[in-house]
Structure 1
Amino acid sequence: MTHLLLAIIYLAFISLGLPDGLLGSAWPTMYTEFHVPVSYAGIISIIISLGTIVSSLQSDRLTKKLGTGKVTAISVAMTAAALLGFSFSSSFWMLCLWSIPYGLGAGSVDAALNNYVALHYESHHMSWLHCMWGVGATVGPYIMGFALSGGRTWNFGYLCVGILQILLTAVLIFSLPLWKKRGSRSFSEKEEGTIDREKEAEIQESALSLAQIIKIPGAKEVMLCFFCYCAIEQTAGLWASSYLHLFKGIPAETAARFAGMFFIGITAGRAVSGFITMKLNDVQMIRLGQVIIFAGILVMLLPGPNVTALAGLILIGLGCAPVYPCIIHSTPEHFGADRSQAIIGVQMASAYVGTCLMPPLFGLIANHISITLFPVYMMALLVLMAVMHELLTKKTAH
């Protein structure tokens, strides 16, 4: 039964990634149909991100009340409804309206699933599960591209993914009894942290408030660590192509292709990381990833042929691969199994804040100063992330 549930969780992670690339791939067609500026995609993205932040912060309360299985099923159902709503939308305001349940559903399921896997499964599963997210994020645009190239509209692409999400919702509903079974991971008393048992019982019954979470030693550090990581990942994904084209003079189509290699590097890197985690622990994996990101940024800064910058970008992608899943997986060991859902909720919220704020900030820097600062910007974020991770490790050492 444990293996069946794990297979369902793998499927759920693929479904998490499926919608993520749809808006970007369909927007060139959508904005002309709705007669809005191309920049309006940012409005939809912000609404979705705000929804994910709100639901991530509420994930601890919802999971304690309903359980991971029900939260996952309800969240995927909300996402499916939102995607179907997108497919039937005929105006921009309707897209904005359906973006609300889309964001609320995505944030809850992300936090709940990540915490469940962190508690019950080994680190290699976390890496491979996030690899599956990459598979979903890659397949989604292909579904949209197939719809558009086959003479269909963007609505049909959203409809296809919405139907897939409905099927997954049905699978999750039928799998609800399995979620009461624990996975293979176990915690010693030392790993769970030393907390007063009476207080532990009280915490299990009532969700932690944001103020209580922030007071936990290491919470602010892990929030900043996650903020910086997601800022690096999203800034690289958004601005790498422009940097390669505008500064390095690489043809636009080649730059776009190698910018895509960054995400392929993350996906492939997570597949490989799953095997490496069998030898290295989470802290060592995060440090290894940071070193590889550092090497990639240095390579991008080196003068030389264009292939140097391209190689640096791929290295950054490979370095990013273990960081996200290993930070999440190490949360129960840093903070205790009883508080991991609350911490992972604020981690997810911090991630979305970093995703919302930092790539647009670099856009302002590129516009008003120079796009050549792209590697320097990522280096500053990397240094802050590394410092926060070391402080986190020190403050939560048992």
Structure 2
Amino acid sequence: MTADRSRPMDLPLVTMFGGFALTGLVTVLLGPALPGMSERWHIADSQAGLLFAAQFFGTTLTSIVTPWRVRLSLVAGYALVAAGMATLAFAGYAVAIAAFALLGMGLGLSLTATNLLVGSTDADRRGRLLTRANFFWAVGAVVCPPLIGLAERLQQMRPLLLFLAVMLAFVSVRLLPLLRMKEAEPNVSADAEQHQTGKQAEPPIYFFLIFAVILFLYVGTENSIGGWITEYSHRFLGIPAARASLAALTFWLMLVASRGIASELLRKVSEAAILLPATMLAAAGTLLLLLRHGTAVVFVAVAVAGLGCGPVFPLLTSRLFARSGSSRHVGWVFAACGCGGAILPWTMGLVSTGTGSLRTAFAVPLAALAMILLFILSGSRHGRAASET
């Protein structure tokens, strides 16, 4: 079976990228909203961590099945996210767990399907298009903190959530024509098709396992920093809950800026030339958050972490698609992303409750970034050794 590779002109990129921006907003919504929710519902960090876990375990479940029906998953995913937002608008803590699980299921479908469709484009455009798609996701993430902060100050959170639900439902309807297009048969590497007319075996299973671990660690790191930094600023810097979202805004703003820069740099430099320095920068910013310091240093640390995190996910997924194409194994690799997004922020909540220090809990994403660096350095050494033989 041959994969029906997508071309950029075949896809409704304006709607897909616009929808991706909305998913970025929804994905990070819990972080900026957490201080207000914690005060209203009187919940501990360990209970707040369950909300992260519910969302990203939902993402894990649906990411696995997405490669089997990519376009249907895209349309259904936005519908589920819309339903989750509408439910959250009327939720208390117990119902919010179910609402975030529903959101996560929809995000697992829509995010994975978008990455699969964009990742199956021509090899020479794949890295730039994936970086651009994730740039729009990050734009939504940037808009989220000030929007949530404004809604909290005006006490208009419910109308905001219902408005977002309507917008997401609109995207789902706009993508319905995709269902009339033939589904790809995702079994063969896209790059292999470009060079051969026959079938080519997929990469060995350990290849997918390695990427599953790396993406588990990265998505968990991104969601840990972006998810907890608002509460961190509120608690340790004494910033009011409605304004503490400025720290999350700084993180996502630098993340989106670095993805935009990386998208242009990739015209001139290789993906490898960006990936390693970016990961090191993210680790340096996270390390700063573990140290005692004032407001200015916190915002510098958050900015550095965001700047480093920006290019990492799209460059890793570009490497994944370069070898695997549209393999169905990609589904459980993206499921590992959702699992990391659930487990690492939840672990931070448990560490914070156990040690009595949210600052100490930032050792969790720092350890994850250190492991990613080890994988990248190991892969670079193996690549050089292979090229010399």
Which TM class, normalised by the smaller chain length? Answer: 0.7 to 0.9
2:176 to 173, 178, 196: 173
Classify 1:77/1:189 alpha carbon distance in 2 versus 1 (closer, same or farther; 3 Å). same
Classify 1:300/1:6 alpha carbon distance in 2 versus 1 (closer, same or farther; 3 Å). same
The reply on whether 1:293 has 2:294 as its aligned counterpart is no
Q: Which residue of 2 aligns with 1:275?
A: 264
Q: Which residue of 1 aligns with 2:58?
A: 51
Deviation at residue 320 of structure 1 after TM alignment: 0.6
Q: Which residue of 2 aligns with 1:210?
A: none
Aligned residues: 367
- Distance in structure 1 (CA, Å) of the matches to 2:116 and 2:213: 19
- Distance in structure 1 (CA, Å) of the matches to 2:294 and 2:151: 39
1:75 to 77, 82, 90: 77
Question: Residue 218 of structure 1 aligns to a residue in which SS?
Answer: helix
The reply on whether 1:332 has 2:333 as its aligned counterpart is no
Classify 1:360/1:191 alpha carbon distance in 2 versus 1 (closer, same or farther; 3 Å). farther
Q: Which residue of 2 aligns with 1:106?
A: 107
Deviation at residue 137 of structure 1 after TM alignment: 2.5
Q: Report if aligned partners of 2:120, 2:326 keep a CA contact under 8 Å in 1.
A: no
Classify 1:298/1:82 alpha carbon distance in 2 versus 1 (closer, same or farther; 3 Å). closer
- Scaled by the length of structure 2, the TM-score of the pair is 0.77
**Residue type of the alignment partner of 1:162:** A
Q: Report if aligned partners of 2:76, 2:106 keep a CA contact under 8 Å in 1.
A: yes
Where do 5+ consecutive residues of structure 1 fail to align? Answer: 201-212
Classify 1:316/1:43 alpha carbon distance in 2 versus 1 (closer, same or farther; 3 Å). closer
Q: What does 1:245-394 correspond to in 2, within 5 Å?
A: 250-252=237-239, 257-296=246-285, 307-308=296-297, 310-334=299-323, 336-339=324-327, 341-343=328-330, 345-366=331-352, 367-368=354-355, 373=360, 377-392=364-379, 394=382
Q: Which residue of 2 aligns with 1:206?
A: none
Q: Which residue of 2 aligns with 1:2?
A: 9
Classify 1:46/1:236 alpha carbon distance in 2 versus 1 (closer, same or farther; 3 Å). closer
Classify 1:295/1:156 alpha carbon distance in 2 versus 1 (closer, same or farther; 3 Å). closer
Moved more, 156-165 or 304-313: 304-313
Deviation at residue 3 of structure 1 after TM alignment: 7.6
Q: Report if aligned partners of 1:222, 1:388 keep a CA contact under 8 Å in 2.
A: no
Classify 1:258/1:75 alpha carbon distance in 2 versus 1 (closer, same or farther; 3 Å). closer
Deviation at residue 163 of structure 1 after TM alignment: 0.6
- Distance in structure 2 (CA, Å) of the matches to 1:197 and 1:261: 47
Q: Which residue of 2 aligns with 1:133?
A: 137
1:230-254 Cα shifts (integer Å, max 9, x gaps): 23323333455676788xx755469
Deviation at residue 59 of structure 1 after TM alignment: 1.9
- Distance in structure 1 (CA, Å) of the matches to 2:64 and 2:275: 24
1:81-126 Cα shifts (integer Å, max 9, x gaps): 2222333x36554444444432222101111111211121432222
- Distance in structure 2 (CA, Å) of the matches to 1:23 and 1:369: 21
- Distance in structure 2 (CA, Å) of the matches to 1:390 and 1:133: 28
Q: Which residue of 1 aligns with 2:86?
A: 84
Task: Give aligned-pair identity as a percent.
Answer: 20
Deviation at residue 7 of structure 1 after TM alignment: 1.6
Q: Report if aligned partners of 2:256, 2:310 keep a CA contact under 8 Å in 1.
A: yes
**Residue type of the alignment partner of 1:337:** G
- Distance in structure 1 (CA, Å) of the matches to 2:370 and 2:262: 22
Larger RCO: 1 or 2 (CA < 8 Å, sep 6+): 2
Question: Residue 311 of structure 2 aligns to a residue in which SS?
Answer: helix
- Distance in structure 1 (CA, Å) of the matches to 2:350 and 2:97: 25
Moved more, 324-333 or 302-311: 302-311
Q: Report if aligned partners of 1:300, 1:309 keep a CA contact under 8 Å in 2.
A: yes
Q: What does 1:155-234 correspond to in 2, within 5 Å?
A: 155-176=158-179, 188-189=191-192, 197=199, 216-234=205-223
Deviation at residue 191 of structure 1 after TM alignment: 7.6
- Distance in structure 2 (CA, Å) of the matches to 1:318 and 1:84: 33
Q: Which residue of 2 aligns with 1:19?
A: 26
Deviation at residue 383 of structure 1 after TM alignment: 2.4
Q: Report if aligned partners of 1:144, 1:158 keep a CA contact under 8 Å in 2.
A: no
Classify 1:260/1:100 alpha carbon distance in 2 versus 1 (closer, same or farther; 3 Å). closer
- Scaled by the length of structure 1, the TM-score of the pair is 0.76
- Distance in structure 2 (CA, Å) of the matches to 1:16 and 1:284: 29
Where do 5+ consecutive residues of structure 2 fail to align? Answer: 1-7
Classify 1:143/1:111 alpha carbon distance in 2 versus 1 (closer, same or farther; 3 Å). same
Moved more, 164-173 or 250-259: 250-259
Q: What does 1:140-159 correspond to in 2, within 5 Å?
A: 140-145=144-149, 147=151, 149-150=153-154, 152=156, 154-159=157-162
RMSD of aligned residue pairs (Cα, Å): 3.9
